[in-house]
Protein backbone atom coordinates (compact mmCIF):
# COMPACT_ATOMS: atom_id res chain seq x y z
CA UNK A 1 0.00 0.00 0.00
CA UNK A 2 1.21 3.46 -0.91
CA UNK A 3 0.67 6.83 0.72
CA UNK A 4 -2.19 7.51 -1.69
CA UNK A 5 -3.91 4.22 -0.89
CA UNK A 6 -7.42 4.57 0.48
CA UNK A 7 -6.95 1.30 2.35
CA UNK A 8 -3.81 2.65 4.03
CA UNK A 9 -5.55 5.88 5.01
CA UNK A 10 -8.49 4.01 6.50
CA UNK A 11 -6.14 1.64 8.33
CA UNK A 12 -4.20 4.57 9.82
CA UNK A 13 -7.43 6.29 10.84
CA UNK A 14 -8.70 3.06 12.40
CA UNK A 15 -5.41 2.52 14.27
CA UNK A 16 -5.54 6.09 15.60
CA UNK A 17 -9.17 5.67 16.65
CA UNK A 18 -8.47 2.37 18.38
CA UNK A 19 -5.47 3.83 20.19
CA UNK A 20 -7.47 6.86 21.32
CA UNK A 21 -10.41 4.69 22.42
CA UNK A 22 -8.17 2.32 24.39
CA UNK A 23 -6.35 5.26 26.00
CA UNK A 24 -9.60 6.97 27.03
CA UNK A 25 -11.02 3.67 28.27
CA UNK A 26 -7.88 2.93 30.30
CA UNK A 27 -7.83 6.36 31.91
CA UNK A 28 -11.55 6.17 32.62
CA UNK A 29 -11.23 2.74 34.22
CA UNK A 30 -8.34 3.97 36.38
CA UNK A 31 -10.40 6.96 37.53
CA UNK A 32 -13.41 4.77 38.30
CA UNK A 33 -11.24 2.27 40.16
CA UNK A 34 -9.58 5.03 42.18
CA UNK A 35 -12.93 6.57 43.10
CA UNK A 36 -14.31 3.16 44.07
CA UNK A 37 -11.30 2.31 46.25
CA UNK A 38 -11.39 5.77 47.83
CA UNK A 39 -15.07 5.26 48.71
CA UNK A 40 -14.22 1.89 50.24
CA UNK A 41 -11.39 3.46 52.25
CA UNK A 42 -13.72 6.23 53.37
CA UNK A 43 -16.27 3.68 54.53
CA UNK A 44 -13.57 1.77 56.41
CA UNK A 45 -12.34 4.95 58.09
CA UNK A 46 -15.87 5.89 59.15
CA UNK A 47 -16.27 2.39 60.62
CA UNK A 48 -13.04 2.92 62.57
CA UNK A 49 -14.30 6.32 63.83
CA UNK A 50 -17.53 4.68 65.01
CA UNK A 51 -15.51 1.92 66.68
CA UNK A 52 -13.40 4.58 68.39
CA UNK A 53 -16.56 6.37 69.52
CA UNK A 54 -17.94 3.20 71.07
CA UNK A 55 -14.73 2.74 73.06
CA UNK A 56 -14.45 6.36 74.28
CA UNK A 57 -15.80 7.39 77.66
CA UNK A 58 -15.12 9.87 80.52
CA UNK A 59 -13.59 8.41 83.68
CA UNK A 60 -14.38 9.31 87.29
CA UNK A 61 -11.52 11.76 87.30
CA UNK A 62 -12.89 13.48 84.18
CA UNK A 63 -10.22 12.05 81.92
CA UNK A 64 -11.07 10.36 78.63
CA UNK A 65 -10.71 6.64 78.42
CA UNK A 66 -10.50 4.47 75.31
CA UNK A 67 -11.36 0.96 76.34
CA UNK A 68 -10.95 -1.34 74.62
CA UNK A 69 -8.48 0.21 72.22
CA UNK A 70 -8.96 -0.46 68.47
CA UNK A 71 -7.73 -3.97 67.81
CA UNK A 72 -6.26 -3.32 64.32
CA UNK A 73 -2.55 -4.20 64.77
CA UNK A 74 -1.56 -1.52 62.26
CA UNK A 75 -2.48 1.14 64.86
CA UNK A 76 0.34 -0.20 67.04
CA UNK A 77 3.11 -0.06 64.40
CA UNK A 78 4.90 3.31 64.26
CA UNK A 79 4.28 5.23 61.01
CA UNK A 80 2.29 2.30 59.59
CA UNK A 81 0.00 4.61 57.64
CA UNK A 82 -3.07 3.81 59.80
CA UNK A 83 -3.86 6.27 62.61
CA UNK A 84 -6.52 7.48 64.99
CA UNK A 85 -6.60 10.59 67.12
CA UNK A 86 -8.95 12.37 69.57
CA UNK A 87 -8.92 16.17 69.92
CA UNK A 88 -11.16 18.44 71.87
CA UNK A 89 -13.56 20.70 70.03
CA UNK A 90 -10.97 23.45 69.61
CA UNK A 91 -8.39 21.10 68.15
CA UNK A 92 -6.18 20.92 71.29
CA UNK A 93 -4.68 17.55 72.03
CA UNK A 94 -6.09 15.69 74.98
CA UNK A 95 -4.18 13.65 77.53
CA UNK A 96 -1.05 12.11 76.12
CA UNK A 97 -1.28 8.35 75.64
CA UNK A 98 -5.03 8.40 75.30
CA UNK A 99 -5.85 10.75 72.43
CA UNK A 100 -3.92 9.06 69.59
CA UNK A 101 -2.73 5.73 68.29
CA UNK A 102 0.74 4.39 68.95
CA UNK A 103 1.39 4.43 65.19
CA UNK A 104 1.58 8.26 65.31
CA UNK A 105 4.54 7.89 67.65
CA UNK A 106 5.45 11.42 68.82
CA UNK A 107 3.57 13.34 66.09
CA UNK A 108 0.01 14.47 65.72
CA UNK A 109 -2.29 15.24 62.83
CA UNK A 110 -3.27 18.89 62.59
CA UNK A 111 -6.96 19.03 61.86
CA UNK A 112 -8.36 22.14 60.14
CA UNK A 113 -10.39 24.47 62.37
CA UNK A 114 -13.62 23.94 60.48
CA UNK A 115 -17.05 24.07 62.16
CA UNK A 116 -18.69 20.68 62.57
CA UNK A 117 -22.23 19.80 63.55
CA UNK A 118 -22.43 17.06 66.17
CA UNK A 119 -22.48 13.66 64.47
CA UNK A 120 -21.45 15.05 61.04
CA UNK A 121 -18.54 13.38 59.28
CA UNK A 122 -15.97 15.45 57.40
CA UNK A 123 -13.41 14.19 54.87
CA UNK A 124 -9.94 15.71 54.56
CA UNK A 125 -6.66 15.12 52.74
CA UNK A 126 -3.98 16.22 55.20
CA UNK A 127 -0.21 15.94 55.57
CA UNK A 128 0.89 13.18 57.92
CA UNK A 129 4.05 11.95 59.58
CA UNK A 130 7.11 11.00 57.52
CA UNK A 131 5.88 13.02 54.52
CA UNK A 132 2.73 10.93 54.10
CA UNK A 133 -0.49 12.24 52.58
CA UNK A 134 -3.46 11.05 54.62
CA UNK A 135 -7.10 10.37 53.79
CA UNK A 136 -8.91 11.52 56.93
CA UNK A 137 -12.45 11.07 58.24
CA UNK A 138 -13.41 12.99 61.40
CA UNK A 139 -16.56 13.31 63.48
CA UNK A 140 -17.62 15.71 66.24
CA UNK A 141 -19.44 13.97 69.10
CA UNK A 142 -20.84 15.07 72.47
CA UNK A 143 -19.95 12.64 75.23
CA UNK A 144 -22.79 11.81 77.61
CA UNK A 145 -20.55 12.02 80.63
CA UNK A 146 -19.87 15.66 81.25
CA UNK A 147 -21.25 16.80 77.90
CA UNK A 148 -17.80 17.26 76.43
CA UNK A 149 -17.37 17.74 72.68
CA UNK A 150 -14.49 15.85 71.07
CA UNK A 151 -13.28 15.31 67.49
CA UNK A 152 -12.68 11.68 66.64
CA UNK A 153 -10.48 10.99 63.59
CA UNK A 154 -9.21 7.96 61.67
CA UNK A 155 -6.67 8.28 58.85
CA UNK A 156 -4.93 6.16 56.21
CA UNK A 157 -1.90 6.82 54.05
CA UNK A 158 -3.06 7.70 50.52
CA UNK A 159 -0.11 5.72 49.14
CA UNK A 160 -2.15 2.55 49.62
CA UNK A 161 -4.72 3.98 47.21
CA UNK A 162 -2.10 4.87 44.59
CA UNK A 163 -0.41 1.47 45.01
CA UNK A 164 -3.74 -0.27 44.43
CA UNK A 165 -4.40 1.92 41.40
CA UNK A 166 -0.96 1.18 39.93
CA UNK A 167 -1.39 -2.55 40.50
CA UNK A 168 -4.78 -2.39 38.80
CA UNK A 169 -3.23 -0.53 35.85
CA UNK A 170 -0.51 -3.17 35.53
CA UNK A 171 -3.11 -5.95 35.55
CA UNK A 172 -5.31 -4.06 33.09
CA UNK A 173 -2.64 -3.35 30.43
CA UNK A 174 -2.58 -6.87 28.89
CA UNK A 175 -6.36 -6.87 28.63
CA UNK A 176 -6.32 -3.43 27.02
CA UNK A 177 -3.76 -4.79 24.56
CA UNK A 178 -6.08 -7.68 23.72
CA UNK A 179 -8.98 -5.26 23.31
CA UNK A 180 -6.85 -3.05 21.04
CA UNK A 181 -5.87 -6.07 18.93
CA UNK A 182 -9.48 -7.23 18.61
CA UNK A 183 -10.63 -3.73 17.66
CA UNK A 184 -7.81 -3.42 15.11
CA UNK A 185 -8.71 -6.74 13.52
CA UNK A 186 -12.36 -5.75 13.49
CA UNK A 187 -11.42 -2.46 11.82
CA UNK A 188 -9.39 -4.27 9.16
CA UNK A 189 -12.33 -6.59 8.49
CA UNK A 190 -14.59 -3.56 8.28
CA UNK A 191 -12.22 -1.85 5.86
CA UNK A 192 -11.98 -4.98 3.73
CA UNK A 193 -15.76 -5.35 3.72
CA UNK A 194 -16.29 -1.68 2.95
CA UNK A 195 -13.83 -1.64 0.05
CA UNK A 196 -15.02 -4.96 -1.40
CA UNK A 197 -17.54 -3.24 -3.75
CA UNK A 198 -14.72 -1.07 -5.15
CA UNK A 199 -12.66 -4.22 -5.74
CA UNK A 200 -15.65 -5.70 -7.59
CA UNK A 201 -15.81 -2.57 -9.72
CA UNK A 202 -12.08 -2.88 -10.47
CA UNK A 203 -12.49 -6.54 -11.47
CA UNK A 204 -15.48 -5.58 -13.59
CA UNK A 205 -13.46 -2.91 -15.41
CA UNK A 206 -10.65 -5.42 -15.95
CA UNK A 207 -13.18 -7.91 -17.36
CA UNK A 208 -14.50 -5.24 -19.72
CA UNK A 209 -10.99 -4.35 -20.83
CA UNK A 210 -10.18 -8.02 -21.51
CA UNK A 211 -13.47 -8.50 -23.37
CA UNK A 212 -14.99 -10.99 -20.91
CA UNK A 213 -17.82 -8.56 -20.13
CA UNK A 214 -19.46 -5.52 -21.62
CA UNK A 215 -21.01 -3.89 -18.53
CA UNK A 216 -20.33 -3.51 -14.83
CA UNK A 217 -22.51 -5.54 -12.48
CA UNK A 218 -25.10 -3.28 -10.87
CA UNK A 219 -25.48 -5.50 -7.79
CA UNK A 220 -23.44 -3.10 -5.65
CA UNK A 221 -24.25 -0.97 -2.57
CA UNK A 222 -26.15 2.27 -3.05
CA UNK A 223 -23.04 4.37 -2.39
CA UNK A 224 -21.19 2.76 -5.33
CA UNK A 225 -24.20 2.55 -7.66
CA UNK A 226 -23.80 6.10 -9.10
CA UNK A 227 -20.22 5.29 -10.15
CA UNK A 228 -21.29 2.00 -11.75
CA UNK A 229 -24.16 3.66 -13.61
CA UNK A 230 -21.88 6.43 -14.92
CA UNK A 231 -19.30 3.90 -16.13
CA UNK A 232 -21.98 1.80 -17.84
CA UNK A 233 -23.39 4.92 -19.49
CA UNK A 234 -19.90 5.84 -20.67
CA UNK A 235 -19.43 2.33 -22.10
CA UNK A 236 -22.77 2.53 -23.89
CA UNK A 237 -21.85 5.90 -25.42
CA UNK A 238 -18.45 4.52 -26.46
CA UNK A 239 -20.07 1.51 -28.12
CA UNK A 240 -22.41 3.74 -30.06
CA UNK A 241 -19.50 5.91 -31.20
CA UNK A 242 -17.46 2.86 -32.21
CA UNK A 243 -20.41 1.36 -34.07
CA UNK A 244 -20.90 4.62 -35.98
CA UNK A 245 -17.20 4.72 -36.84
CA UNK A 246 -17.24 1.11 -38.03
CA UNK A 247 -20.32 1.74 -40.13
CA UNK A 248 -18.67 4.80 -41.63
CA UNK A 249 -15.53 2.79 -42.39
CA UNK A 250 -17.53 -0.01 -43.95
CA UNK A 251 -19.46 2.48 -46.10
CA UNK A 252 -16.21 4.08 -47.20
CA UNK A 253 -14.69 0.70 -48.08
CA UNK A 254 -17.82 -0.30 -49.98
CA UNK A 255 -17.77 2.99 -51.86
CA UNK A 256 -14.13 2.40 -52.86
CA UNK A 257 -14.60 -1.19 -53.98
CA UNK A 258 -16.96 -0.28 -56.81
CA UNK A 259 -14.50 2.18 -58.45
CA UNK A 260 -11.70 -0.33 -57.94
CA UNK A 261 -13.73 -3.00 -59.72
CA UNK A 262 -14.39 -0.56 -62.54
CA UNK A 263 -10.67 0.23 -62.67
CA UNK A 264 -9.86 -3.48 -63.01
CA UNK A 265 -12.43 -3.79 -65.82
CA UNK A 266 -10.86 -0.82 -67.62
CA UNK A 267 -7.44 -2.49 -67.29
CA UNK A 268 -8.81 -5.64 -68.88
CA UNK A 269 -10.28 -3.65 -71.80
CA UNK A 270 -6.94 -1.93 -72.31
CA UNK A 271 -5.20 -5.29 -72.45
CA UNK A 272 -7.71 -6.46 -75.06
CA UNK A 273 -7.15 -3.27 -77.04
CA UNK A 274 -3.40 -3.93 -77.17
CA UNK A 275 -2.09 -1.87 -74.20
CA UNK A 276 -0.82 -4.60 -71.83
CA UNK A 277 1.73 -2.34 -70.09
CA UNK A 278 -0.87 0.26 -69.12
CA UNK A 279 -3.28 -2.52 -68.14
CA UNK A 280 -0.68 -4.09 -65.87
CA UNK A 281 0.01 -0.75 -64.19
CA UNK A 282 -3.69 -0.18 -63.59
CA UNK A 283 -4.17 -3.71 -62.22
CA UNK A 284 -1.21 -3.30 -59.86
CA UNK A 285 -2.60 0.05 -58.69
CA UNK A 286 -6.08 -1.38 -58.18
CA UNK A 287 -4.72 -4.41 -56.30
CA UNK A 288 -2.61 -2.19 -54.02
CA UNK A 289 -5.58 0.02 -53.25
CA UNK A 290 -7.78 -3.03 -52.57
CA UNK A 291 -5.22 -4.49 -50.16
CA UNK A 292 -4.93 -1.17 -48.38
CA UNK A 293 -8.70 -0.92 -48.02
CA UNK A 294 -8.92 -4.49 -46.66
CA UNK A 295 -6.17 -3.86 -44.15
CA UNK A 296 -7.65 -0.57 -43.05
CA UNK A 297 -10.86 -2.48 -42.30
CA UNK A 298 -8.87 -4.85 -40.11
CA UNK A 299 -7.22 -1.94 -38.32
CA UNK A 300 -10.60 -0.30 -37.77
CA UNK A 301 -11.94 -3.52 -36.23
CA UNK A 302 -9.05 -4.21 -33.85
CA UNK A 303 -8.73 -0.57 -32.78
CA UNK A 304 -12.43 -0.12 -32.21
CA UNK A 305 -12.38 -2.48 -29.25
CA UNK A 306 -14.51 -5.15 -30.88
CA UNK A 307 -11.42 -7.26 -31.38
CA UNK A 308 -10.90 -7.61 -27.66
CA UNK A 309 -14.07 -9.65 -27.17
CA UNK A 310 -12.61 -12.83 -25.79
CA UNK A 311 -13.03 -15.77 -28.14
CA UNK A 312 -11.17 -19.00 -28.71
CA UNK A 313 -9.60 -20.25 -31.92
CA UNK A 314 -7.42 -23.30 -32.40
CA UNK A 315 -4.03 -22.03 -33.55
CA UNK A 316 -2.67 -25.06 -35.44
CA UNK A 317 -5.88 -25.42 -37.44
CA UNK A 318 -5.70 -21.74 -38.39
CA UNK A 319 -2.04 -22.14 -39.43
CA UNK A 320 -2.85 -25.15 -41.58
CA UNK A 321 -5.69 -23.22 -43.21
CA UNK A 322 -3.43 -20.28 -44.11
CA UNK A 323 -0.62 -22.59 -45.29
CA UNK A 324 -3.13 -24.45 -47.50
CA UNK A 325 -4.08 -21.14 -49.11
CA UNK A 326 -0.44 -20.09 -49.63
CA UNK A 327 0.39 -23.41 -51.28
CA UNK A 328 -2.10 -22.58 -54.04
CA UNK A 329 -0.37 -19.32 -55.00
CA UNK A 330 2.60 -19.35 -57.38
CA UNK A 331 5.74 -20.60 -55.61
CA UNK A 332 3.92 -21.52 -52.40
CA UNK A 333 3.94 -25.24 -53.13
CA UNK A 334 7.73 -25.20 -53.65
CA UNK A 335 8.31 -24.31 -49.96
CA UNK A 336 8.74 -26.98 -47.31
CA UNK A 337 6.22 -25.98 -44.62
CA UNK A 338 7.00 -27.53 -41.22
CA UNK A 339 4.53 -27.15 -38.36
CA UNK A 340 5.46 -28.24 -34.82
CA UNK A 341 3.02 -28.17 -31.90
CA UNK A 342 2.54 -30.22 -28.70
CA UNK A 343 -1.15 -30.54 -29.50
CA UNK A 344 -4.23 -28.38 -29.96
CA UNK A 345 -3.68 -24.92 -28.48
CA UNK A 346 -6.31 -22.20 -28.25
CA UNK A 347 -5.64 -18.47 -28.43
CA UNK A 348 -8.01 -15.89 -26.97
CA UNK A 349 -8.54 -14.13 -30.33
CA UNK A 350 -11.30 -13.80 -32.83
CA UNK A 351 -10.84 -16.15 -35.74
CA UNK A 352 -10.67 -13.40 -38.38
CA UNK A 353 -7.99 -11.51 -36.45
CA UNK A 354 -5.82 -14.60 -35.98
CA UNK A 355 -6.15 -15.48 -39.67
CA UNK A 356 -5.21 -11.90 -40.64
CA UNK A 357 -2.18 -12.03 -38.35
CA UNK A 358 -1.03 -15.45 -39.62
CA UNK A 359 -1.74 -14.52 -43.21
CA UNK A 360 0.58 -11.52 -43.09
CA UNK A 361 3.36 -13.33 -41.21
CA UNK A 362 3.30 -16.48 -43.33
CA UNK A 363 2.97 -14.52 -46.56
CA UNK A 364 6.10 -12.54 -45.64
CA UNK A 365 7.92 -15.75 -44.70
CA UNK A 366 6.96 -17.36 -48.01
CA UNK A 367 8.04 -14.27 -49.92
CA UNK A 368 11.55 -14.30 -48.43
CA UNK A 369 12.15 -18.01 -47.85
CA UNK A 370 14.38 -19.94 -50.25
CA UNK A 371 12.97 -23.41 -49.61
CA UNK A 372 11.73 -23.81 -46.03
CA UNK A 373 9.49 -22.18 -43.43
CA UNK A 374 9.30 -23.63 -39.94
CA UNK A 375 6.38 -22.82 -37.65
CA UNK A 376 6.58 -23.75 -33.96
CA UNK A 377 3.68 -23.31 -31.55
CA UNK A 378 3.94 -23.48 -27.73
CA UNK A 379 1.47 -22.86 -24.91
CA UNK A 380 -0.98 -23.07 -23.23
CA UNK A 381 -1.14 -20.06 -20.85
CA UNK A 382 0.49 -17.91 -23.48
CA UNK A 383 0.48 -19.10 -27.05
CA UNK A 384 3.81 -18.39 -28.72
CA UNK A 385 4.10 -18.73 -32.48
CA UNK A 386 7.63 -18.72 -33.92
CA UNK A 387 7.95 -18.47 -37.70
CA UNK A 388 11.46 -18.85 -39.14
CA UNK A 389 12.53 -18.86 -42.78
CA UNK A 390 15.81 -19.64 -44.53
CA UNK A 391 15.88 -16.35 -46.41
CA UNK A 392 18.51 -13.59 -46.30
CA UNK A 393 17.34 -12.35 -42.88
CA UNK A 394 17.42 -8.79 -41.56
CA UNK A 395 20.54 -7.10 -40.09
CA UNK A 396 20.25 -6.47 -36.32
CA UNK A 397 20.45 -2.71 -36.72
CA UNK A 398 17.30 -2.72 -38.89
CA UNK A 399 15.11 -5.17 -36.95
CA UNK A 400 13.70 -2.50 -34.67
CA UNK A 401 12.12 -0.82 -37.72
CA UNK A 402 10.16 -3.92 -38.70
CA UNK A 403 6.48 -3.32 -38.13
CA UNK A 404 6.62 0.44 -38.68
CA UNK A 405 3.89 1.56 -41.00
CA UNK A 406 5.01 1.83 -44.64
CA UNK A 407 8.60 0.69 -43.92
CA UNK A 408 10.05 -1.66 -46.56
CA UNK A 409 13.64 -2.74 -46.11
CA UNK A 410 13.86 -4.19 -49.62
CA UNK A 411 12.18 -2.43 -52.54
CA UNK A 412 12.89 -5.32 -54.92
CA UNK A 413 10.03 -7.40 -53.49
CA UNK A 414 6.36 -6.63 -54.04
CA UNK A 415 4.49 -5.24 -51.06
CA UNK A 416 3.19 -2.13 -49.39
CA UNK A 417 4.97 -2.33 -46.06
CA UNK A 418 1.62 -2.63 -44.22
CA UNK A 419 1.64 -6.34 -43.36
CA UNK A 420 3.79 -6.26 -40.22
CA UNK A 421 2.17 -2.99 -39.15
CA UNK A 422 -1.24 -4.71 -39.23
CA UNK A 423 0.25 -7.63 -37.29
CA UNK A 424 1.46 -5.22 -34.63
CA UNK A 425 -1.99 -3.60 -34.46
CA UNK A 426 -3.63 -6.99 -33.87
CA UNK A 427 -1.03 -8.02 -31.29
CA UNK A 428 -1.38 -4.74 -29.37
CA UNK A 429 -5.17 -5.00 -29.40
CA UNK A 430 -4.99 -8.31 -27.52
CA UNK A 431 -2.18 -7.37 -25.16
CA UNK A 432 0.38 -9.63 -26.85
CA UNK A 433 3.98 -9.15 -27.91
CA UNK A 434 5.84 -9.14 -31.23
CA UNK A 435 9.57 -9.62 -31.75
CA UNK A 436 12.25 -10.48 -34.29
CA UNK A 437 15.38 -12.65 -33.97
CA UNK A 438 17.96 -14.21 -36.25
CA UNK A 439 17.37 -17.79 -37.36
CA UNK A 440 20.11 -20.39 -37.02
CA UNK A 441 20.21 -20.81 -40.82
CA UNK A 442 20.65 -17.06 -41.39
CA UNK A 443 17.01 -16.20 -41.99
CA UNK A 444 14.56 -14.26 -39.86
CA UNK A 445 12.54 -15.48 -36.86
CA UNK A 446 9.30 -13.66 -36.12
CA UNK A 447 7.72 -14.57 -32.80
CA UNK A 448 4.31 -13.60 -31.48
CA UNK A 449 2.95 -14.12 -27.96
CA UNK A 450 -0.82 -14.11 -27.60
CA UNK A 451 -3.14 -14.74 -24.62
CA UNK A 452 -4.09 -18.39 -24.44
CA UNK A 453 -7.08 -20.36 -23.22
CA UNK A 454 -5.37 -22.99 -21.06
CA UNK A 455 -8.64 -24.69 -20.14
CA UNK A 456 -9.28 -25.57 -23.80
CA UNK A 457 -5.79 -26.76 -24.71
CA UNK A 458 -6.71 -30.42 -24.32
27-80 pLDDT, tens digit each: 999 999 999 999 999 999 999 999 998 888 877 776 777 888 888 899 999 999
> Can you tell me the distance from the alpha carbon of 447 to that of 424, in angstroms, rounded to the nearest whole number?
11
Each domain of the chain, given as residue ranges in start order, spans 56-159, 226-307, 310-456
Rounded distance, CA 432 to CA 426, Å?
9
Sign of CA dihedral 41, 46, 50, 55: positive
Tell me the per-residue pLDDT of 399-428, one tens digit each, with 9 for 90 and over. 766 766 544 444 444 444 567 888 888 888
Residues 6+ apart with CB under 8 A from 390: 369, 370, 371, 372, 373, 439, 441, 442, 443
CB 289 within 8 A of CB 256: yes
Residue 94: its pLDDT value, please? 46
Determine the topology of domain 56-159 in CATH.
Beta-Lactamase (3.30.450)
2-25 mean pLDDT: 88
**pLDDT beyond 60 at 108:** yes
Task: Say which residue, 343 or 248, is predicted with more confidence.
Answer: 343
**From 1.10.287.470, 3.10.20.440, 1.10.760.10, 3.30.565.10, which CATH number describes the 310-456 domain?**
3.30.565.10
Residue 223, pLDDT above cutoff 80: yes
As a whole number of angstroms, the distance between CA 18 and CA 26 comes to 12
Q: Assess contact for 143 and 56: CB atoms under 8 A.
A: yes
Q: At what angle do helices 315-327 and 351-368 cross, to 10 degrees?
A: 50
pLDDT attached to residue 211:
67
Separation CA 319–CA 313 (nearest Å): 11
When pLDDT is averaged across residues 248-257 and rounded to a whole number, the result is 73
* Top-level class of domain 226-307: mainly alpha
Q: How far apart are CA 148 and CA 233, in angstroms?
A: 97
pTM (predicted TM-score): 0.54
- Name which of 50-54, 343-347, 376-380, 452-456 the model is least confident about: 452-456
Res 377: pLDDT? 93
Interatomic CA distance for residues 28 and 22, integer angstroms = 10
pLDDT confidence of residue 411: 43
Rounded distance between C-alpha atoms, residue 88 and residue 142, angstroms:
10
Amino acid sequence: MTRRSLRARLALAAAGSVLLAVLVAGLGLLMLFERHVERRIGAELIAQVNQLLAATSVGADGALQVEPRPVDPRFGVPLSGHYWQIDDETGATLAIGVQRSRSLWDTRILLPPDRLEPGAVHAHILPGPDGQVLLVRERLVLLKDGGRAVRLMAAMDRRELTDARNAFAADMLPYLGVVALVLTLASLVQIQTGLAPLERVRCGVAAIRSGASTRLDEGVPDEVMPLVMEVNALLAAREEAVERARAWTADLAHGLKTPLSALSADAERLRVQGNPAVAADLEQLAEGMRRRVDRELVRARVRSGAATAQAGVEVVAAIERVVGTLKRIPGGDDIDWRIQSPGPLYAALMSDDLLELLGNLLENAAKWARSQVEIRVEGPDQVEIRISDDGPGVPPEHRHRLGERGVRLDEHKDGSGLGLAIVRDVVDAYGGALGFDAASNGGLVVWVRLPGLAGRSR
